[in-house]
Amino acid sequence: MIKVKNRKILLLPGDGIGPEVIREVKKIIEWFNKNKSLDFKIEEGLVGGASYDKHKNPITDEVFYKALESEAVILGAVGGPKYDNLEFSKRPERALLKLRKELKLFANLRPAICFEQLVAASSLKPEIISGLDIMIVRELTGGIYFGEPRGIEAIENNERKGVNTHSYTTSEIQRVAKVAFDLAKKRNNKVTSCEKSNVMEAGVLWREEVQALKDKEYPNIDLSHMLADNCAMQLLRNPKQFDVIVTDNLFGDILSDEAAMLTGSLGLLPSASLGAKDKNGKTRSMYEPVHGSAPDIAGKNIANPIATVLSLSMALRYSLDLDIEADLLDSAVQKVLDDGIRTKDIMSSGKKEVNTSVMGDAIISKLK
Ligand code: IPM
Ligand code: MG
């Protein structure tokens, strides 16, 4: 096999359980370097509260430039109660939002897959979720998260007013819809686009522009439109009706949490945030588990590292052209679950409970 020379992966452990789950990913990359003749250069940096504690800044320029130079960024999690009272610009979440916005990562892919071994862990009936495989494509750099004007201002009568702005342009909508359509082509050709066109103009535009792109370029895609509140309900009623869901930044935030929890396995779900191609045809990207920093269990070595491990596998597949290695890693995770090895969050009777590092080691043992 040809040695891949010095490809840079940036690991950003962040806060809470982030460092613990990233540690396992680092072990796996090192295993690939040693045993599969890959030559990844691993860099690390502080983000979120961890960076604030040291630099009074949730992400330094140095770390930001490292992210710009890496082929893939893998982030653990940011945030925690300790930082809840900081002003907005200093909060851990700002690091995440800055990376998304400035790396132009406009398409966030959040799969909600039900692992057969864990059907019983869902709060829904097994027949509703067994075999579930949805891909949520969330717009990530626009909408109400970034719209201007924004702020809190004093108004008359000693009152205050909070303002955020939700807006989208044709190109912002169509570039993310294109990602959804292209993904659907490799899946079941079905896309559901969600908005609130019954109350919002930006929702009307969303619906029209998604439809226009389909009519022009994707004649074979089965596209339907659904109001976001109905989508939230349908996800609980009959989630298997969905293949790819495309939606805006805020609805995507909410619907992806709901879809993830359906699978009973928040600890298993990875995500990818992809940008546009640069001059050299490379796509910028960042990968992170869907779960957050889980401060309540941080530092105890009990977190489930699988979502972050599967985020590495998405990075291998979508950014690093290493499909064989990605398949190998996915199947190692499956084998560990087949063997009944579980972290606390997905434990059930008759299975073997292990901690974070033992789970990492078990996955590595299945790579062999
Ligand atoms: C997510 C998170 C973030 C978001 C937070 C941490 C800013 O909830 O990635 O879904 O709202 O986008
Ligand atoms: Mg969220």
> Can you give the chain as a three-state secondary structure string?
CCCCCCEEEEEEEECCCHHHHHHHHHHHHHHHHHHCCCCEEEEECCCCHHHHHHHCCCCCHHHHHHHHHCCEEEEEECCCHHHCCCCHHHCHHHHHHHHHHHCCCCEEEEEEECCHHHHHHCCCCHHHHCCCEEEEEEECCCHHHCEEEEEEEEECCCEEEEEEECCCCHHHHHHHHHHHHHHHHCCCCEEEEEECCCCCHHHHHHHHHHHHHHHHHCCCCEEEEEEHHHHHHHHHHCHHHCCEEEECHHHHHHHHHHHHHHCCCHHHCEEEEEEEECCCCCEEEEEEECCCCCHHHCCCCCCCCHHHHHHHHHHHHHCCCCHHHHHHHHHHHHHHHHCCEECHHHCCCCCEECCHHHHHHHHHHHHC
With a CB cutoff of 8 Å and minimum separation 6, the contacts of 75 are 12, 14, 18, 47, 96, 99, 286, 287, 288
Band of residue 78 on the pLDDT scale cut at 50, 70, 90: very high
Task: Report the nearest-CA residue for atom 7 of ligand 1.
Answer: 93
Indicate the helix (H) or strand (E) that contains 244: strand 244-247
Q: Residue 5 above 70 pLDDT? A: no
Average pLDDT over the chain, rounded to an integer: 94
Find the ligand nearest to 83 CA.
1
Whole-number pLDDT of residue 194: 98
| Percentage of the chain exceeding pLDDT 90 | 86
Q: At what angle do helices 323-338 and 306-318 cross, to 10 degrees?
A: 160
Say how many Å lie between the CA of residue 74 and the centre of ligand 1.
Answer: 15
229 is catalytic: yes
Band of residue 288 on the pLDDT scale cut at 50, 70, 90: very high
Task: Report the nearest-CA residue for atom 2 of ligand 1.
Answer: 253
**Residue to mutate, 93, 144, 250, ligand 1, most ligand atoms under 8 Å from C-beta:** 93
CB distance 138 to 247 below 8 Å = yes
257 is catalytic: yes
Q: Are strands 244-247 and 190-195 parallel, antiparallel or unpaired?
A: parallel
What is the rounded distance in angstroms from the CA atom of residue 122 to the CA atom of residue 201?
Answer: 36
253 is catalytic: yes
145 is catalytic: yes
Q: Residue 2 above 60 pLDDT? A: no
Whole-number pLDDT of residue 262: 87
CB distance 269 to 136 below 8 Å = no
Task: Report the nearest-CA residue for atom 8 of ligand 1.
Answer: 253
Mean pLDDT of 43-59: 98
Whole-number pLDDT of residue 281: 76
Q: Residue 44 above 90 pLDDT? A: yes
Least confidently predicted of 34-38, 40-44, 104-108, 245-249 = 34-38
Residue that has been written with the tokens 């033992």 in this structure: 358
Catalytic-role residue among 196, 214, 218, 243: 196
Mean pLDDT of 173-179: 98
Catalytic-role residue among 53, 215, 222, 229: 229
**253 touches ligand 1 (CB under 6 Å):** yes
Q: Residue 299 above 70 pLDDT? A: yes
Q: Residue 4 above 70 pLDDT? A: no
278 is catalytic: no
What type of residue sits at position 12? L
Q: Residue 97 above 90 pLDDT? A: yes
Say how many Å lie between the CA of residue 345 and the centre of ligand 1.
Answer: 21
Whole-number pLDDT of residue 348: 87
The three-class DSSP label of residue 208 is helix
Q: Using alpha carbons, select from 34, 38, 12 the residue that is nearest to residue 23.
A: 12
The residues with which 352 forms a beta bridge, in sequence order, are 341
Q: What domains does the chain contain, in order, with CATH numbers?
A: 1-109+265-368 (3.40.718.10), 133-262 (3.40.718.10)
- Among the atoms of ligand 1, which is closest to the Cα of residue 249? 12
Q: Residue 38 above 90 pLDDT? A: no
Q: Are strands 283-289 and 159-165 parallel, antiparallel or unpaired?
A: unpaired
**96 touches ligand 1 (CB under 6 Å):** yes
**258 touches ligand 1 (CB under 6 Å):** no
129-167 tens-digit pLDDT: 999 999 999 999 999 999 999 999 999 999 999 999 999
Mean pLDDT of 234-248: 97
Q: Residue 278 above 80 pLDDT? A: no
Catalytic-role residue among 15, 52, 83, 145: 145
257-268 tens-digit pLDDT: 999 888 877 889
Please list all protein residues whose beta carbon sits less than 5 angstroms from ligand 2, which is an ion.
253
Catalytic-role residue among 133, 253, 330, 339: 253
Say how many Å lie between the CA of residue 57 and the centre of ligand 1.
Answer: 19
Band of residue 92 on the pLDDT scale cut at 50, 70, 90: very high
177-212 tens-digit pLDDT: 999 999 999 999 999 999 999 999 999 999 999 999
What is the rounded distance in angstroms from the CA atom of residue 322 to the CA atom of residue 327?
Answer: 9
Mean pLDDT of 242-252: 98
pTM of the model as a whole: 0.93
**208 touches ligand 1 (CB under 6 Å):** no
CB distance 194 to 244 below 8 Å = no
Q: Using alpha carbons, select from 8, 25, 33 the residue that is nearest to residue 289.
A: 25
What type of residue sits at position 110? R
